[in-house]
Amino acid sequence: MENDLSSTPAWEQYLSDNRERHLDELFEFLRIPSVSSLPEHKDDMRRAAEWVAGKLRAAGVPRVEILETAGNPVVYGEWNIDESKPTALIYGHYDVQPPDPLELWDTPPFEPDVRNDRIYARGSADDKGNSFMPIKAVEAMQATAGTPPINLKFNFEGEEEIGSPSLPAFVRESAELLACDFVLCADGGMWGPDTPSLTLGTKGITGCQVDITTAGTDLHSGMFGASVQNAVRAAAQLAATFHDSDHRVAVEGFYDDVIPLSDEERADFAEAPFDPTGHLDEIGATAFVGETGYTPVELNWARPTLDLNGIWGGFTGPGTKTVTPAEAHFKITCRLVPDQDPDKIIDLIESHVHEHAPPGATVKVDRGTTGGSRAFRVTRDHPAIQAAYETLGDLYDRDPYFVRLGGTLPIAATYQEVLNADMIFYSWGMPDSRAHAPNENFQLRSFDLARRGYCALFERLAREE
Cα–Cα distance, 219 to 180 (Å, whole number): 61
Q: Contact at 8 Å (CB) between 120 and 112?
A: yes
| Least distance CB 295 / a copy of itself (angstroms) | 8
| Least distance CB 322 / a copy of itself (angstroms) | 5
Coil, strand or helix: which one is 235?
helix
Nearer to a copy of itself, 146 or 284 (CB): 284
Phi, psi of 308 (to 5 degrees): -90, 110
Nearer to a copy of itself, 131 or 202 (CB): 202
Cα–Cα distance, 448 to 443 (Å, whole number): 9
Nearer to a copy of itself, 86 or 165 (CB): 165
Cα–Cα distance, 298 to 321 (Å, whole number): 44
| Least distance CB 59 / a copy of itself (angstroms) | 30
Cα–Cα distance, 326 to 340 (Å, whole number): 35
Residue 355 neighbours by CB under 8 Å, 6+ apart? none
Strand 182-185, strand 63-67: pairing? unpaired
| Least distance CB 272 / a copy of itself (angstroms) | 14
| Least distance CB 399 / a copy of itself (angstroms) | 23
Sign of CA dihedral 167, 91, 162, 406: positive
Query: Looking at the DSSP assignment, which residues form a beta bridge with residue 402?
Result: 198
Nearer to a copy of itself, 149 or 410 (CB): 410
| Least distance CB 384 / a copy of itself (angstroms) | 23
Residue 176 neighbours by CB under 8 Å, 6+ apart? none
Estimate to the nearest angstrom the gap between the alpha carbon of 56 and the chain centroid: 22
Coil, strand or helix: which one is 302?
helix
Sign of CA dihedral 368, 369, 374, 380: negative
Q: Contact at 8 Å (CB) between 225 and 321?
A: no
Cα–Cα distance, 451 to 457 (Å, whole number): 10
| Least distance CB 298 / a copy of itself (angstroms) | 9
| Least distance CB 38 / a copy of itself (angstroms) | 7
Nearer to a copy of itself, 268 or 327 (CB): 327
Q: Contact at 8 Å (CB) between 10 and 146?
A: no
Residue 427 neighbours by CB under 8 Å, 6+ apart? 127, 130, 185, 186, 187, 188, 189, 190, 450
Nearer to a copy of itself, 348 or 405 (CB): 405
Cα–Cα distance, 189 to 449 (Å, whole number): 12
Nearer to a copy of itself, 23 or 437 (CB): 437
Nearer to a copy of itself, 58 or 250 (CB): 250
| Least distance CB 286 / a copy of itself (angstroms) | 6
| Least distance CB 421 / a copy of itself (angstroms) | 23
Cα–Cα distance, 394 to 398 (Å, whole number): 7
Nearer to a copy of itself, 383 or 431 (CB): 431
| Least distance CB 187 / a copy of itself (angstroms) | 12
| Least distance CB 303 / a copy of itself (angstroms) | 6
Ordered strands of the 362-366 beta sheet: 327-336, 204-213, 362-366
Nearer to a copy of itself, 112 or 207 (CB): 207
Estimate to the nearest angstrom the gap between the alpha carbon of 14 and the chain centroid: 30
Nearer to a copy of itself, 260 or 318 (CB): 318
Q: Contact at 8 Å (CB) between 314 and 220?
A: no
Nearer to a copy of itself, 378 or 384 (CB): 378
Strand 87-93, strand 182-185: pairing? parallel
